[in-house]
Amino acid sequence: MTAQNATPDATPDASAAQGAGTSRSGSRFGLPRIVVILVGLAAALAVLYGTQQLQNLVGPMFMALNLVLAVSPLQSFLVRHKVPKIVAAVITLLVVLAILVILIGALIWAIAVLVQTLPQYSGDFQNLYNQAVNWLASVGITIEQLENQVKTIDPNSIVSVLTGVLSNLQGVLSLAALIVITIFFLMMDSLSFADRLKRAGKYHPGLVNALRSFGEGVRRYWGVTTVFGLIVAVFDVVALAIMGVPLALVWGILSFITNYIPNIGFVIGLIPPALIALVAMGPTQALVVVVLYSVINFVIQSVIQPKFTGESVGVTPFVTFLSLGVWAWALGPLGALLALPATLLVKAVLIDADPKARWVNALIASNPKTADAPVHQETTRETLSQLTDDVRHATSRHRDEEHSKQGHGKPDPGKQDPGSTATAPTGDEARPGPAEESDPGSEQR
């Protein structure tokens, strides 16, 4: 049988082999789907538990990675303008360190001011507490019942907590030192990181493109969140200063920092200034503070900011809220700030990099159309090349089998009787004849 006749017969074998491979991958080597799901959940829990045990190491390092990604456009800008790579890396490193010093310094200053100022309102907090007790008693809750529930509450405990936080500078400095060291080494790696990604993209283009999309999304997320956090903080400070609420600048810093915490950051930033307004100025002013904060944050963060953020957040509000709890448990306090970037990283590696898993975006992505995104061109070319090689190998194997059958099924004209010496075929005799040779494209057909 010629190669032209063998090719059509070989194609079903190749398709069957490919289908078998797909079946094996789809069933996860024959395991039932429920077993695959349970094993996957167990592995995820094990990874999260390990991360939680190493949160003092993983959290600062991931924070450093986010800071480097956030300022990487500056390094690229300097390199494009003929600045030597090492000089651009040093300048970018100094900018990151300056940002880190400003944030930590502002936070320490705000806590110090609170520690010095809040004791002045301890009597007002006590009066507010007594008024609350009397009001609850008037609606049917006896003082004895209430005291049994809240007898451990001390209005001065807020000051004690803040004092403990301020005195625990050793942990803060250790955290900052680890972040700085990690940033230094990341900036050293950034000198050749673009070339490394380019080379890795030749072998795994889908994964590399997903990581690049993650980097772009993280940069946009941090940049837009920082800009609009500053805008919200300025409006809050101005509104509180006009109303005469004490510590307006401190509450502005708190509003800026909590702006990075998704979903509940607004509430965390609202409660302290509302309480101070209630104690120092009365319930009417406290209600005005709540209304002003709500209007400012809703207009800027819910209406304007999403138009600039685009799809950098990448997940639905429920997934965002769920990720906040998961990463706050796994990474500690830094997990509240890094919840969205950490979720985007997991999504990029496990979902966006795998075309077969991209359908999950229809359920969790902020834009469900990303589930229909086409496979990258390089990935398609690599897949087609692999399929072509499989067909070529199957065709060659089928042709060899046909030749073997011909050798066993037909008598050899040159075959001698058993008593004579058999003559081995020469190289020319063993080579297929003109009728058996095919043009180069016949194997692919």
Residues 345, 348, 350: CA angle, nearest 5 degrees: 105
Q: Taking residues 35-59, what's their average pLDDT?
A: 89
Distances (CA, A) of 149 to 46, 71, 123, 152, 153: 38, 50, 21, 8, 9
Q: Is the pLDDT of residue 120 over 60?
A: yes
303 vs 149 pLDDT, higher one = 303
More confident residue, 390 or 96: 96
Question: Residue 442 pLDDT > 90, yes or no?
Answer: no
Phi-psi region of 244 (alpha: psi -120 to 50; beta: other; left: phi over 0): left
Burial class (CB in 10 A: 0-12, 13-18, 19+), 26: exposed
In the predicted structure, residue 7 carries a pLDDT above the cut 60: no
Best CA proximity match to 362, nearest among 351, 378, 376: 351
Of 170 and 354, the one with more pLDDT: 354
199-222: average pLDDT? 87
> Between these two residues, 426 and 48, which has the higher pLDDT value?
48
Residue 112 has pLDDT above 70, yes or no: yes
Q: How confident is the model at residue 321 (pLDDT cuts 50, 70, 90)?
A: confident
Lowest mean pLDDT among 63-72, 73-82, 197-206, 384-393: 384-393
Task: Give residue 238's pLDDT.
Answer: 92
Range in 273-287, 346-360, 395-409 the model is least confident about: 395-409
> 108 pLDDT band (50/70/90 cuts)?
confident
Q: Which residue has the higher pLDDT, 444 or 162?
A: 162
Percent of the chain with pLDDT over 70: 66
Q: Please tell me the predicted confidence (pLDDT) of residue 327.
A: 92
Q: Looking at per-residue confidence, does 15 or 233 come out higher?
A: 233
For the cut 80, the answer to whether the pLDDT of residue 24 exceeds it is no
**Mean pLDDT, rounded, of the chain:** 75
- pTM, to two decimals: 0.66
Please give the average per-residue pLDDT across 139-151, as a whole number.
58
pLDDT of 87 reads 92
Q: Where are the domains of the chain?
A: 32-202, 204-373
391, 14 in Cβ contact below 8 A?
A: yes
| pLDDT at residue number 393 | 66
Name the least confident of 177-186, 267-276, 288-297, 422-431. Answer: 422-431
Residue of 286 and 380 predicted with greater confidence: 286
Q: What does the pLDDT average to over 310-323?
A: 76
Q: What are phi and psi of 315, to 5 degrees?
A: -135, 165
Cβ-count burial of 131 within 10 angstroms (0-12 exposed, 13-18 middle, 19+ buried)?
Answer: exposed
| pLDDT tens, position by position, 382-438 | 445 555 666 676 677 767 777 776 655 444 444 444 444 444 444 444 444 444 444
Confidence of residue 192 (pLDDT cuts 50, 70, 90): confident
Please give the pLDDT value at position 269.
87
Mean pLDDT lowest among 24-33, 120-129, 256-265: 24-33
